[in-house]
Amino acid sequence: MSGSNFRFTVWFEGRGSIKGTNEMANLSINGKAFDIDIEPDTPLLWAIRENAGLTGTKYGCGIAQCGACTVHVGGVAMRSCGITVGEASGQQITTIEGLAANGTLHKVQQAWIANDVPQCGYCQTGMIMAVARCSRTSAEPSDQDIDGGHHQYCRCGTFTAGARGNSRRRERLRGRHESACQLNRRAFVIGTAAAGAGLALALDVPFGGPTVARAADGSPEVNAWVVIRPDNSVVIRIARSEMGQGTLTGLAQLVAEELDCDWSKVVTEFPTPGQSVARKRPWGDFSTGGSHGIRGSQEYVRKGGATARVMLIQAAANEWKVPASECTAANGVIRHTPSRRTTTYGKVAEAAAKLAPPADVKLKDPKDWKIAGKPLKRLDTLDKTTGATIYGIDVKLPAC
Ligand code: FES
Ligand code: FES
């Protein structure tokens, strides 16, 4: 038996507590073995987040009270801040990142998405892990089952764990649970989340011009707010924080409305303040608070979408050698009415990105809105139910 492969359980059981002494622990997390150099009495939560790098499990209270850190250990929902690495060693550990199976989200995650449950989402991964255990043990959960499965604190105030006797809460939770149990296991490919990942921003000119600014995947920026990929998917940049109120989705709706793109093909990404400074602040103010996230930027983000639409139409008109005034756009498709020719945003984005932006654009009358102001599904819910959302506590600075 060599050191690194030596089962931690054997060491721990044989030697008792080895406080202050690091040992090689072998933890099985989401079906993968992790050899971790750690003290055996370290809370499992630390090993999951800091050593295994799985940040979907959250630190809340650190004293086994709030439930933010709930994982499954040996098939039982447990608060990982309240169990040691030594106690968990040798058992199968499942975190939120491992809850989906074969690319299909767990039925509780599906129900969470169907009901747009999360606000900020911080407590939600722990809550989902607790409910997932509840749904495994009972197809028809009682109030007791539900309360037992949901004894979680929500800092947004959405579900207060102290409301055990609150029947309204029980009904809401039961409703969610029942919808989870009744949902078909329809395929929900997590790849949609991957599609939004890795979209680091190019640091190039923000608007138009002969040099095309590009996203990390090489897709052209039509302007600082809009990147269009060859497959017609649209990346909309969001420069305000999403704190749970739906700011991200609301701002994306405003840009998409003026852009006249296909909403089902919209993903979002956040530029960083550093990128903003490097590009001479093309996204304006980044501050979020006092309910100003949308109110304070709605006009210029709409102009970002409208400007991109005009440039895309102009690029198509140039290709067809027709006046842009004879062309219209809807759902990401540009149409030349007299000749009935059509093309897509994805096909002309490269040419559009090289055009000078119009000096001014006319915004739509809100009475004509089809996307903005409508109760659409939130774009941030999927990541919040899979543990993919990155919070301040999850950020690792270089060399840390
Ligand atoms: S962080 Fe573990 S229960 Fe609060
Ligand atoms: S802490 Fe529960 S959704 Fe924000």
Strand order of the β-sheet with 221-223 is 221-223, 226-228, 234-237, 266-269
Distance 8 CA to ligand 1 centre (A): 24
Distance 72 CA to ligand 1 centre (A): 14
- pLDDT tens digits for range 249-285: 999 999 999 999 999 999 999 998 899 999 999 999 9
Ligand nearest to the CA of 59: 1
Atom index in ligand 2 nearest the CA of residue 119 equals 3
Question: Tokens 């989402």 sit at which residue?
Answer: 121
Half-sphere exposure of 364 (CA within 13 A, CB side): 24
Q: Report pLDDT for 176.
A: 46
pLDDT over 70 percentage in the chain:
76
Question: What residue ranges of the chain are covered by domains with CATH 3.30.365.10?
Answer: 194-378
Q: Report pLDDT for 7.
A: 32
Q: How is domain 3-98 classified at the CATH fold level?
A: Ubiquitin-like (UB roll) (3.10.20)
Per CATH, the number for 107-189 is 1.10.150
CB environment 344-370: b (16+ within 10 A), e (fewer) = bbbbbbbbbbebebeeebeeeeeeeee
Question: Tokens 């690029």 sit at which residue?
Answer: 315
Residue 123, ligand 2, Cβ within 6 A: yes
Q: Report pLDDT for 193.
A: 31
Which of the listed CATH numbers 1.10.580.10, 3.90.650.10, 3.40.640.10, 3.30.365.10 matches domain 194-378?
Answer: 3.30.365.10
Residue 146 pLDDT class (50, 70, 90 cuts): low
- pLDDT tens digits for range 318-358: 999 999 999 999 999 999 999 999 999 999 999 999 999 99
Mean pLDDT of the chain: 82
Question: What residue ranges of the chain are covered by domains with CATH 1.10.150?
Answer: 107-189
Q: Report pLDDT for 212.
A: 87
Are 74 and 92 in contact by the 8 Å Cβ rule? The answer is yes
Residue 185 pLDDT class (50, 70, 90 cuts): very low
Residue 165 backbone class (left: φ over 0; alpha: ψ -120 to 50; beta: rest): alpha
Say which residue, 192 or 316, is predicted with more confidence. 316
DSSP 189-213: BTHHHHHHTT-PPP-S-SS-SSSPP
Distance 214 CA to ligand 1 centre (A): 41
Ligand nearest to the CA of 77: 1
- 137-151, 327-341, 368-382 — which is least confidently predicted? 137-151
Residue 244, ligand 2, Cβ within 6 A: yes
Residue having the nearest C-alpha atom to atom 2 of ligand 2 = 154
Are 141 and 134 in contact by the 8 Å Cβ rule? The answer is yes
| CA dist., res. 271 & res. 236, Å (int) | 10
- 13-22, 227-236, 385-394 — which is least confidently predicted? 13-22
The CA distances from residue 72 to 13, 57, 133, in Å, are 22, 11, 8
DSSP code of residue 104 = B
Residue 386 pLDDT class (50, 70, 90 cuts): very high
Q: Report pLDDT for 183.
A: 32
Question: What residue ranges of the chain are covered by domains with CATH 3.10.20.30?
Answer: 3-98
Q: Is pLDDT above 80 for 63? A: yes
Residue having the nearest C-alpha atom to atom 3 of ligand 1 = 64
CA dihedral 157, 162, 167, 171 (to 10 degrees): 50
Residue 161, ligand 1, Cβ within 6 A: no
Q: Is pLDDT above 50 for 28? A: yes
Q: Name beta bridge partners: 66.
A: none
Q: Is pLDDT above 80 for 203? A: no
Q: Report pLDDT for 148.
A: 55
Type and span of the H or E element at 38: strand 32-38
Q: Report pLDDT for 162.
A: 34
